[in-house]
Amino acid sequence: MSDATQLSEVVVTPAKRPQTQSGVSAYAPQISVTLQKVVARDDTVSGGVDASPRVRGATGAKVDLTQYLGRGSTVTVRRTVRGADTGQFSVSFPDQMNSGFSDAVAAMVEPMDVIEIRMARDASTTGSARDGTKLPIVMRGFVSEVTRSEGMTEAGPVRTVTISGQGYMKILQIIRVMYLPTMIPGQDLLSSFKLFLNYGVETDGFQTAGEFVKKVVADVVGEFLARMQSGSGGDNSPVMKLQVDAHDSPSSGSVQPFGAQQWEGGSIYDLLAEFGDVGPWNELYVEDRDDGPYLVYRPTPFKEASGAYIQDGATANVVKIDASDLVAMTSSRTDANVANYYWVEAPRLSLVGSPLLQQDQGLSPPPALTDYQNSLPGMYGIRLMRQQSQQGVRYDGKQEDEVRDGAGVVIGMLNEKRRILIENNKDNVVFEAGAMTLKGSEKITAGSYIRLNRGGFESEMYAHEVTHQFTIGGAFLTSVSFDRGTGFIERTQRGTSAYLAELTIGGVYGR
């Protein structure tokens, strides 16, 4: 385990509500949306079609789109720590003419141009674009689609432009590894070491998943972004380097050469997610920070019912809110994810001592939970949870005693992964999942815990998806999809009524 994983829990408390002279809470929410041109139109629009002089040389141009946001315009940013689309945005506003471009804004924006979105609940405490300081960053990304809608209404013609796109995870999706018959002669016949021969990405028996993530981002993603930068202003390009914040789980094994190097292809995200054991044990997502976008690879920061982290070194921000921040909330509990029999396999090691692995794993600690209250087979039936790890340990080609020792290390790794799988899921029937709508707060981010205080009754939930919606002249709201909620667990421990504690005077419009 790397020393870098020894991080302390960070608690983020929203600023106190500013008060007017009348004592009524007031905020000064503010937003900034900036477009930076990446796509070059220096010579032609397409083959044989010349570009007008007015659009030439626009590469690197910076346009403040905030000025076009009229009443009713909406800006939506969605972030999640699960799946390939970990960041999406949408900006909708009346289409107008840009004086510098001498055309509609919709005609100025192209896919792969860069968008930067900043917002704050209270700009008076975080700074604003007006006084030269920057608002907190909530999204950096690339345009994917530009839509222009026109129509007639009673008030006259209406033109609306909607710009939507994805964060820097888009780059990991559009870079794909393929092996086709039309490639360099002989390349399609390769049976091993494809990734190394094509991209120079090495894997060895002692390289952890975190090191593998850093290597792939540096050699593959970094090269792609460098080409984008050189074609869009060089050192002044709006395209930024994707940095990596990688922490290995204590249960992680090494990324095997006979696994990654023989990988049959797909997106770079697929590659990292598969060999990083993303899902049951780890998370992989992009997070925008002040100094740029980061690809975060970390142990899934799930907690036990007692509140302790399950994996050593796991950590997450905790954002404290109270009843006055809550607009709406729905939560539920279900037995759909109950499991009481667990099995973890390592298919990438199937050619290296497979019978030995199966024999030893069968003699390892029992995988079943037969007497645990929240997963009793007599209550919920036999429920199997079966997962695969793509990691392992190199011990092939060794002497017999070394093979036996190596197999023991692999069994220990699989048993630790199974322990984590059990601890992550044994209390699923008492954890809550659901959604919350809150007063807008840029401090609430995907991958953090929300600690809700309602009249002294506190509960906690893991925010795996967060959406900020900023409506000009309307509301700034933050929506959270969560699981691992402890509301029911906390209720069963209280000596007094949680229901009465929830009936606090206030709410979203209260003081």
Report the candidate in 105, 30, 29, 114 with the shortest Cα–Cα distance to residue 65.
105
Give the integer Cα–Cα distance in Å for 452 and 337: 25
Domain ranges across the chain: 27-43+53-166, 172-300, 324-331+443-502, 341-425
Q: Which two tokens stand for residue 287?
A: 């997070």
Tokens read off for 458: 């506190």
Instruction: Evaluate the CA torsion angle 444, 446, 451, 453 in order and state its sign.
Output: positive
255 C-beta neighbours (distance < 10 Å), count? 30
Reduced to 3 states (helix: H, G, I; strand: E, B; else coil), residue 188 is helix
Residue type, 244: V
Q: What are phi and psi of 240, to 5 degrees?
A: -105, 155
Tokens (6 digits) for 240: 């930024």
Measured CA to CA in angstroms, residue 321 lies from 314, 453, 474 at distances of 22, 6, 22
Tokens 């993603």 belong to 221
As given in the structure block, the two tokens for residue 427 are: 């209390």
pLDDT value at position 462?
A: 98
> Angle at CA 82, nearest 5°, toward 85 and 443?
90
Alpha helix locations (H) across 323-399? 354-362, 377-380
Contact 178, 199 (CB under 8 A): no
Helix 268-275, helix 209-216: angle, nearest 10:
170
**pLDDT tens, the chain, 511 aa long:** 333 333 345 555 555 555 554 444 566 789 999 999 888 776 666 665 666 665 655 666 888 999 999 888 999 999 999 999 999 999 999 988 877 777 888 888 999 999 999 999 887 766 554 554 689 999 999 999 999 998 887 877 888 999 999 999 999 999 887 766 655 554 544 444 456 555 556 655 568 889 989 988 998 899 899 999 988 878 888 999 999 999 998 778 788 665 665 677 788 999 899 989 999 999 999 999 999 999 999 999 999 999 999 999 899 999 999 988 999 999 999 999 999 999 888 877 654 445 555 555 554 555 677 889 999 999 999 999 999 888 877 665 556 666 566 666 777 888 889 999 999 999 999 999 999 999 999 999 999 999 999 888 899 999 999 999 999 988 999 999 999 999 999 998 888 888 887 776 555 444 4
Residue (of 280, 296, 259, 236) closest to 445 by Cα position: 296
User: Quick one: how far is CA 246 from the chain centroid?
Assistant: 13
pLDDT tens string 477-491 = 999 999 999 999 999
Rounding to the nearest 10 degrees, give the CA dihedral for residues 443, 445, 448, 450. 60
Q: Give CA separation, 77 vs 153, 445, 465, 467, in Å.
A: 29, 11, 11, 5
- Cβ contact 93:70 at 8 Å: yes
Separation between Cα atoms, residue 219 and residue 206, nearest integer Å: 19
Contacts of 151 (CB under 8 A, 6+ apart): 157, 158
CA distances 177 to 49, 86, 110, 172, 199, Å, are 33, 21, 26, 11, 10
The amino acid that residue 337 corresponds to is N
Radius of gyration over alpha carbons of the chain, in Å?
A: 26
Give strand pairing partners of 64. 34
| 237 contact partners, CB below 8 Å, separation of at least 6 | 38, 60, 228, 229, 230
Continuous H helices in 426-497 = 487-493
Q: What would the pLDDT profile of 328-377 be if each residue is shown by its tens digit? A: 999 999 999 999 999 888 877 654 445 555 555 554 555 677 889 999 99
388/384 Cα distance (integer angstroms): 13
Supply the pLDDT for residue 154: 80
pLDDT of 7: 39
Q: What per-residue confidence (pLDDT) applies to 2?
A: 39
